[in-house]
Structure 1
Amino acid sequence: MNPLIATAQALMAPGKGLLAMDESIGTCNRRFAELAIAPTEEARRRYRQLLVTAPGLAEFVSGAILFDETLQQNSDDGRSFIEVLSTAGILVGIKLDRGAKALAGHPDERVTEGLDGLRERLQRYAAQGVRFAKWRAVLSIDSGLPSRACIQVNAHALARYAALCQEAGLVPIVEPEVLMAGGHALARCSEVTAEVLHQVFEQLHQQGVVLESMILKPNMLLSGEDCATPVSLDEVAEATLSCLRRSVPAAVAGIAFLSGGQPAELATARLNAMHLHKSALVAPAAALPWPLTFSFGRALQQPALAAWAGDDGNRVIAQTALLHRARCNAAALRGTYRPALETAGALA
């Protein structure tokens, strides 16, 4: 398993995070529609091209998670996006799940599918040069939700996926996302997230997954987006790190937070607060055993997408927006991010 451990450690390189650019065709088209961008394969290719060719991206990004369509596409000069990223020093990953579907017998709950034929898909991706993968499970908080059945079936699927990844020589990113939707308080999010993580690691243990060769991609602990009680940056940091210390084994290679629909600057500020909180943990018993980083999608991409707006004449502006967000998040990993850095040119 040593090559997998090396890959996991490379993904968690100090000062770097992951670019999640693995939106499905439908999700990407919906985001295009908001900006009146044509929902075509060529438009998606041109957009993904500006992301992977952003100059200097590897200074802040260790790995990029792609969707299958993107993995098969080439840049204007004929190179595959895999080659473009690899040449730049960025590891290539792939989204493997096939989406969350209705969970039979459990209204308003979903289970992520895609295990059928996964071993064969993994072999094909590994041969193409893919080094890691991602699988996302989604769990909603509501009255009586998530049910134990929903937690267990999603944890089991995550563990089977992770075991198959390691068998094929890929590092699995395990993403159990407790959604922000709803009016629940921070304490309820903490309770549910802890239960989900305990179940996930129990299933990972049962399936024989090597923790040193996997990365956890959890949600930050937040109150629901409709909750009337706001939470501070410090409250988010304290609740999140406290939950993770109690729920995540020390052997895990690293933790890469998802942004989960948070505004870009707020996601960065919360990531920064966690690193400030982490640096304040002077007692050995309170120290964190794993590195923390980001694996952001919209919180990295949205400013670039808005700047591009389907016009390649805006490519440089869009790439500048992407690199700005990447720099801000890299600063958050050092605990040195501050709102003043959002000023144009402050991080140039």
Structure 2
Amino acid sequence: MNQQQFDKIKTGNGFIAALDQSGGSTPKALAAYGVPEDSYSGEDEMFDLVHQMRTRIITSPSFNADQIVGAILFEQTMDREIEGQYTADYLASKGVVPFLKVDKGLAEKENGVQLMKPIHDLDETLRRANERNIFGTKMRSVIHEPNEEGIKAVVEQQFEIGKKIIEAGLVPIIEPEVNIHSEDKEQCEEMLKNEIHKHLDKLSDDENVMLKLTIPSKANLYKELIDHPRVVRVVALSGGYSREEANEKLKENDGLIASFSRALAADLNANQSDEEFNASLKSAVDSIYDASVNKK
């Protein structure tokens, strides 16, 4: 593990950019960027276009290590190059710590939750991640209802896979998202917090994780997780909130920093000039950075 990167993630001021839209969410991401589905043919063209989008974001002067401590990549992005370097190496050269999305998407809803689909090639993915100088990983589940059995299963699955990731020398971002539209969001979050805490207490001194959580309805609900000795950092997903709303909610939570995707790229468009693009990205980066480091 790169100790300099570990220290930056643990104590650095800023946020983590989520640039990990996968096959299923890529058409939506491109459409939001001003590239409609009828403008490309097949997956190869689609992934070429989304890499161009990510490259434009990452190489922008507005994407800087003074405000962005890390970035989460899709597997194809890890294997592609930016200006002659593999993406993770390019990010590291800018001082931004690279992470990799390793999950294969969500299973069908059961017991009020969606577990992750099986990750059959995890060992091979982790081997390649180490080759590509990736620091950590991310994997997402979703909680819809305050179902004790379901929430327990989500957290068990996350930590079971998380331990394999730790054994491979990487830091896992454990992401049990709570649906922001859940009628019982606050109850889900309380149950989730308690379940995560149990698993954190079982980790040994050399096992460290990160958490990526929905911004809680009750401010500072996750403070005890943020302060837990086995937690490197707790980051927040935007979860469908607008950037403004996500930023306002984030400011109410001490020690919680952003890891936004849609809320980061919402105002970016393929048809913008470089000047317009960089200005839009700077505005987003500045506001998310401010919400991550300046609390109410």
Q: What range is the shorter-chain TM-score in?
A: 0.7 to 0.9
Residue type at the aligned position of 1:94: L
Residue type at the aligned position of 2:27: N
- Alignment match, 1:191: 187
Higher Rg of the two aligned structures:
1
Does residue 1:244 correspond to 2:244, yes or no? no
Does residue 1:93 correspond to 2:99, yes or no? yes
* Structure 1 gaps, min length 5: 223-238, 279-290, 338-348
- Alignment match, 1:25: 23
Residue type at the aligned position of 1:25: G
Mapped to 2, the partners of 1:272 and 1:212 lie a distance apart of: 29
Structure 1 residues 62, 137: CA separation in 2 closer, same or farther (over 3 Å shift)? same
Displacement of 1:107: 6.7
Do 2:140 and 2:175's aligned partners in 1 also have CA atoms closer than 8 Å?
A: yes
- Alignment match, 2:7: 9
- Alignment match, 1:220: 215
CA RMSD of aligned residues (A): 2.5
Do 1:138 and 1:179's aligned partners in 2 also have CA atoms closer than 8 Å?
A: yes
- Alignment match, 2:250: 271
Do 1:198 and 1:247's aligned partners in 2 also have CA atoms closer than 8 Å?
A: no
Residue type at the aligned position of 2:278: Q
Do 2:226 and 2:233's aligned partners in 1 also have CA atoms closer than 8 Å?
A: no
Structure 1 residues 209, 157: CA separation in 2 closer, same or farther (over 3 Å shift)? farther
Structure 1 residues 268, 133: CA separation in 2 closer, same or farther (over 3 Å shift)? same
Mapped to 1, the partners of 2:2 and 2:219 lie a distance apart of: 27
Residue type at the aligned position of 1:262: Y
Mapped to 1, the partners of 2:96 and 2:73 lie a distance apart of: 12
From 72, 77, 82, give the equivalent of 1:65. 72
- Alignment match, 1:112: 116
Displacement of 1:121: 1.5
Mapped to 2, the partners of 1:22 and 1:203 lie a distance apart of: 26
- Alignment match, 2:43: none
Mapped to 1, the partners of 2:251 and 2:158 lie a distance apart of: 28
Written as runs of structure 1 = structure 2, the 5 A alignment for 1:93-172 is: 93-103=99-109, 106=110, 109-140=113-144, 145-172=145-172
Displacement of 1:139: 0.6
Deviation >4 Å, runs of 4+: 3-6, 209-212, 246-249
Residue type at the aligned position of 2:212: K
Instruction: Give a deviation string over 1:262-315, Cα, whole Å, max 9, x none.
Output: 1012211222233xxx4xxxxxxxxxxxx32111111111112xxx2x33x633
TM-score (norm 2): 0.86
Deviates more, 1:253-262 or 1:324-333: 324-333
Does residue 1:330 correspond to 2:289, yes or no? yes
Do 2:113 and 2:154's aligned partners in 1 also have CA atoms closer than 8 Å?
A: no
Do 1:172 and 1:215's aligned partners in 2 also have CA atoms closer than 8 Å?
A: yes
Mapped to 2, the partners of 1:213 and 1:108 lie a distance apart of: 28
Instruction: Give a deviation string over 1:168-203, Cα, whole Å, max 9, x none.
Output: 111111111110124x2xxx4222112112223323
Structure 1 residues 109, 273: CA separation in 2 closer, same or farther (over 3 Å shift)? closer
* Structure 2 gaps, min length 5: 41-45
Displacement of 1:240: 2.7
Does residue 1:84 correspond to 2:90, yes or no? yes
- Alignment match, 1:225: none
Secondary structure of 1:100 counterpart: coil
Do 1:12 and 1:293's aligned partners in 2 also have CA atoms closer than 8 Å?
A: no
- Alignment match, 1:181: 181
Residue type at the aligned position of 1:126: N
Mapped to 1, the partners of 2:136 and 2:189 lie a distance apart of: 24
TM-score (norm 1): 0.74
Secondary structure of 2:65 counterpart: helix
Mapped to 2, the partners of 1:246 and 1:220 lie a distance apart of: 15
